[in-house]
């Protein structure tokens, strides 16, 4: 069942589904120095995110190092986040895989756990065509009653959702929007326009183009940088409809951070920056390796500029 559109009044921006928000943070998974999940750190970081502008926390996304979370770890993280934030924030769970059966199983478990939505990525590696993508999503939504946010990130999956496929996806009961990490502003505008009648939401999935995507119809962001620049990102979105100059200034202030966080594979630079600010992070798991000192210096320099302007 599709969530009803939110009634929260942010003039000039499309509505978002109830239980979600405009600032969604793709949360890292904190590890201890033995590379074990740090559940206390998970709770402290979740609380920090909510305190700094996050409306919904995405658990088990790519930024969470989902490919290397084992067995029950993702579900332990989910329970810890739920315990930490209660009803102060929405929770989205990454449940997508390149196996439809596995995606259904994970989405059903997430629904039973009480999450507000599932993030379902386009199947990777086997890279189905457009008919396969549509059949995959239909199978998930037929099996599980939970709002689904699609995740279109061809740089990781090797397959992009075509513009012509979006009206069919948006018409599926339960599909409420997409995390758009394609990087094509023209296409994003087309998607927002042709899906508008379905209450289908576009969230920016690439911080570098958060503001440009708002300008072509996005309603919010699913962000990595919000771990560190949550207040600025939230203020940028709030300002955009009535004070675009302020929105632009805030976005440009964050641009060096947005870029520095992806100089090396994410979330390597982010974890180093969080640790430098005394926030839970810990190491990354192989095959990722620690960020170089040069990368850490670049992230911290960008972050210092943002902090100085607060």
∠ Cα 201 202 205 (to 5°): 140
Rg (CA), the chain: 18
Question: Which residue in the list 124, 125, 166, 179 is annotated as catalytic?
Answer: 179
The single residue listed with the structure tokens 């201890």 is: 32
Residue 281: φ, ψ to 5°? -155, -70
Residue 254: φ, ψ to 5°? -90, -10
**Longest CA span, the chain:** 50
Q: Is 166 among the catalytic positions?
A: no
Question: Which residue in the list 124, 125, 151, 166 is annotated as catalytic?
Answer: 151
* Three-state secondary-structure class, residue 105: helix
- Distance (Å, whole) CA 206 – CA 255: 11
Q: Is 124 among the catalytic positions?
A: no
∠ Cα 33 261 292 (to 5°): 55
Pair of tokens at residue 255 = 């641009």
Give me the helix-helix angle, 226-239 and 293-308, nearest 10°. Answer: 40
Which residue, 214, 211, 230, 206, is CA-closest to 310?
230
Give the residue numbers annotated as catalytic, written as ranges: 151, 179
């Amino acid at each position: 069942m599709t969530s009803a559109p939110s009634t929260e009044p942010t003039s000039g921006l499309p509505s978002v589904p109830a239980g979600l928000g405009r600032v969604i943070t793709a949360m890292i998974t904190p590890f201890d120095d033995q590379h074990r999940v740090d559940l206390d750190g998970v709770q402290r970081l979740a609380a920090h995110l909510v305190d700094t502008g996050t409306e919904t926390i995405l658990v088990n996304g790519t930024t969470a190092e989902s490919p290397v979370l084992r067995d029950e770890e993702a579900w332990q993280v989910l329970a810890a986040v739920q315990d930490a934030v209660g009803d102060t924030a929405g929770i989205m769970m990454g449940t997508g895989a390149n196996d439809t059966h596995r995606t259904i199983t994970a989405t059903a478990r997430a629904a039973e756990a009480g999450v507000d939505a599932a993030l379902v990525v386009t199947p990777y590696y086997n890279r189905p065509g457009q008919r396969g993508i549509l059949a995959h999503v239909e199978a998930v939504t037929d099996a599980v009653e939970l709002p689904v946010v699609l995740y279109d990130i061809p740089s990781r999956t090797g397959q992009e959702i075509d513009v012509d496929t979006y009206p069919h996806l948006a018409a599926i009961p339960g599909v409420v929007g997409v995390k758009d990490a394609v990087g094509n502003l023209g296409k994003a505008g087309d998607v927002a326009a042709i899906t508008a009648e379905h209450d289908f939401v576009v969230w920016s999935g690439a911080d570098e183009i958060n503001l440009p995507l708002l300008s072509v119809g996005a309603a919010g962001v699913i962000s990595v940088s919000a771990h560190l620049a949550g207040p600025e990102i939230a203020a940028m979105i709030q300002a955009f409809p009535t004070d675009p100059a302020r929105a632009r200034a805030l976005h440009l202030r964050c641009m060096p951070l947005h870029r520095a966080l992806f100089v090396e594979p994410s979330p390597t630079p982010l974890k180093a920056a969080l640790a430098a600010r005394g926030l839970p992070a810990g190491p990354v798991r192989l095959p990722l390796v620690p960020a170089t000192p040069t990368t850490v210096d670049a992230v911290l320099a960008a972050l210092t500029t943002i902090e100085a302007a607060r």
